[in-house]
Structure 1
Amino acid sequence: MAEENKGILKTAVVAIIGRPSAGKSTFLNTACQEPVSIVSAIPQTTRNAIKGIVNTSFGQLIFIDTPGYHDSEKKLNLRLKDITESQLDDIDCVLYIIDSTRQTGKEEDLTAQLLKNLQQKTVVAINKADSHLSKPIPVRQFIKETLPEIPKDRIFEISAEKDTGINEVLRALYDIAPEGEPLYDEELYTDQDLTFRVCEVIRGEAINRLQDEIPHSVYVEVADIEHRNEGKKLWIRAFLCVERESQKGIVIGKGASKIKEIRLAAIKKLSEIYIQKIDLDLQVKIDKNWRQKDYTLKKLISDN
């Protein structure tokens, strides 16, 4: 890729759009080669517009990983839909990721409708092409019918998990990106602050160890972060917040086994991101029916 660069730098803000579990967060982490966004088999784990930054000799792509576009009237899901839609207002490019192992239907059609007026700056990635369940031909037909102005040379079959076809997608985005100087320092791969990253890491480790409805009922509140031992240690006190007393017992687990498992996994992941030694005090508390509280949703979910 670098050999073809003629010295003209390009910079683009790219919104990643797709249904829940299409592979948006996996693509972002693979492209950035860093754990920027939560990856889980559980749908709708992304709750914010999360930025991941890719720097190459062609320039800079600032990806915004949006919540999976989901047809639901629940207050939390409506808020997530608003976040996704708002990211399409001031972007340079769109990466539309489609899961090739699932049938297109009403939800996929609703997602595609978001891009009707953005086809000239959209690149399509047909994900999970390596799966034996992959059906790329029906997906291509769906794209041809619903988004006919997207040229064939901007439609790619990829595997975000196995890093197949990612460079071709990046190159296609650079091709339609405007010229411009980088917006972020080339050493950065995300603009997330410390508190947000800690929350996301803990939540990610929690939801991947919980079942049924519990993952969607959890959020993380960081009560305190202190730099100790002359900056060599990060001491963190955080709470896994759930909606009901019965959920609290499940998250804690028998003999506090589950909360210990989550805590240790979070410490390990945070230690891979930060050079300081991590000391995490993790507890569970109840915020009754928080998914119905406008104040809590506004605090937790933002489009910045």
Structure 2
Amino acid sequence: MTENDATPASGPAAVPASAQAPEPADGRSGFVTFVGRPNVGKSTLTNALVGEKVAITSDKPQTTRRAIRGILNRPAGQLVIVDTPGLHKPRTLLGQRLNDLVEQVLGDVDVIGFCVPATEKVGPGDRRIAESLGGYGRAKKVAIVTKTDAASRDQITERLIEVDQLREDWAAVIPLSALTRDQLDVLTDELLALMPKGPALYPDGVVTDESIEDRIAEIIREAALEGVRDELPHSIAVTIEDISERDTGSMTDIHANLIVERDSQKAIIIGHKGSRLRDVGARARAQIEPLVGTNVFLKLHVRVAKEWQRDPKQLGRLGF
């Protein structure tokens, strides 16, 4: 069931010792992050490597807003994949804070994977990001040409040549498709080989350290991003008011807020007679129910927080 209500309104953290797993013999473990312009496939690649959806995806740039960790276990060791926002020229305080977050992550990881889509020529933004990687001397660098399933053989060859020329210190240059999983094992083996020897950082079976509240909020935001106008994605935030399981154990009640910056955006989210908000609720609920293991009653409120992307107090309340 979904009930919708529109009401107006004014380094990655250290892994706790208790979560650490036993050290495998001769195992390797460490942190890798993927960088690149927005919408080059970093979150899709993270999900494909982990084997489960831990980061939301969208065809809208700057979908990722937090450092989200996905955990990949192999007999040879463990990779902790830190999915970050795409580097971009910030136009708001939120944009600057997202760039700052990426800078922090880059300074902490063991390997940086630089992503360029096979379908697009290397441009000034790619060159600027590739050059900036020289400021992170402790991390090894791998170049990744993504989305090869959507590119011709000539495009892939051209992109590999362009990317290879961006830096002289690539540990590897790997073309792959996260969608078809082509070459994913090659990337996994290369990343593990570049990690330091050490114990696993998370127990076997853990795929992310994201809280259930954060995962649900991201699922709702992903559903809200689908089909909206170009100016709206950056203006959407989601907060969870309450999650409670009913006494029967077969139903979970979730109350969430969809936050936008203007009344006009609120109207877009709600849609004609609430039709669009109902669709958002239905899409989100379909993904939330397998996550929580029960049926879900989802109540969505749309609220306006004027210019929240530029307001430090409101950014703080929203967790940025």
Which amino acid is 1:123 matched to?
V
Kept in 2: contact 1:104–1:139 (CA 8 A): yes
Kept in 1: contact 2:164–2:173 (CA 8 A): no
Question: Is residue 2:46 matched to residue 1:28?
Answer: yes
In 2: Cα distance, 1:277 partner to 1:77 partner: 36
User: 1:7 deviation in Å?
Assistant: 4.8
Equivalent residue pairs, number: 295
In 2: Cα distance, 1:290 partner to 1:62 partner: 32
Counterpart position of 2:203? 185
Task: Please give the secondary structure, in 2, of the residue aligned with 1:62.
Answer: strand
Which amino acid is 2:120 matched to?
R
Matches within 5 A, 1:1-304: 7-118=25-136, 121-132=140-151, 135-151=155-171, 154-229=172-247, 231-300=249-318, 302=320
In 2: Cα distance, 1:242 partner to 1:82 partner: 23
- TM-score of the superposition, structure 1-length normalised? 0.91
Which amino acid is 2:61 matched to?
P
Task: Identify if the C-alpha distance between structure 1 residues 42 and 133 changes in structure 2 by more than 3 Å, giving closer, same or farther.
Answer: farther
Which amino acid is 1:9 matched to?
G
Task: Please give the secondary structure, in 2, of the residue aligned with 1:189.
Answer: coil
Kept in 2: contact 1:259–1:283 (CA 8 A): no
In 2: Cα distance, 1:173 partner to 1:150 partner: 12
User: 1:200 deviation in Å?
Assistant: 0.2
Using CA pairs under 8 Å that are at least 6 residues apart, name the structure with larger relative contact order, 1 or 2: 2
User: 1:58 deviation in Å?
Assistant: 1.2
In 2: Cα distance, 1:247 partner to 1:74 partner: 18
Counterpart position of 2:20? none
Task: Please give the secondary structure, in 2, of the residue aligned with 1:114.
Answer: helix
- CA deviations 1:38-68 (Å, max 9, x no partner) are 1111111001111111011111100000101
Kept in 2: contact 1:48–1:301 (CA 8 A): no
User: 1:295 deviation in Å?
Assistant: 2.2
Task: Identify if the C-alpha distance between structure 1 residues 169 and 118 changes in structure 2 by more than 3 Å, giving closer, same or farther.
Answer: farther
Kept in 2: contact 1:270–1:278 (CA 8 A): yes
Give identity over the alignment, percent. Answer: 31
Which amino acid is 1:137 matched to?
T
Task: Identify if the C-alpha distance between structure 1 residues 263 and 37 changes in structure 2 by more than 3 Å, giving closer, same or farther.
Answer: same
User: 1:230 deviation in Å?
Assistant: 5.1
User: 1:175 deviation in Å?
Assistant: 0.6
- CA deviations 1:71-103 (Å, max 9, x no partner) are 234322211111111101121111221112112
In 2: Cα distance, 1:42 partner to 1:241 partner: 18
RMSD: 1.8
Task: Please give the secondary structure, in 2, of the residue aligned with 1:283.
Answer: strand
In 1: Cα distance, 2:194 partner to 2:229 partner: 42
Task: Please give the secondary structure, in 1, of the residue aligned with 2:150.
Answer: coil
Counterpart position of 2:21? none
Q: Any stretches of 5+ residues in structure 1 without a counterpart?
A: 1-5
Kept in 1: contact 2:107–2:136 (CA 8 A): no
In 1: Cα distance, 2:73 partner to 2:49 partner: 10
- TM-score of the superposition, structure 2-length normalised? 0.87
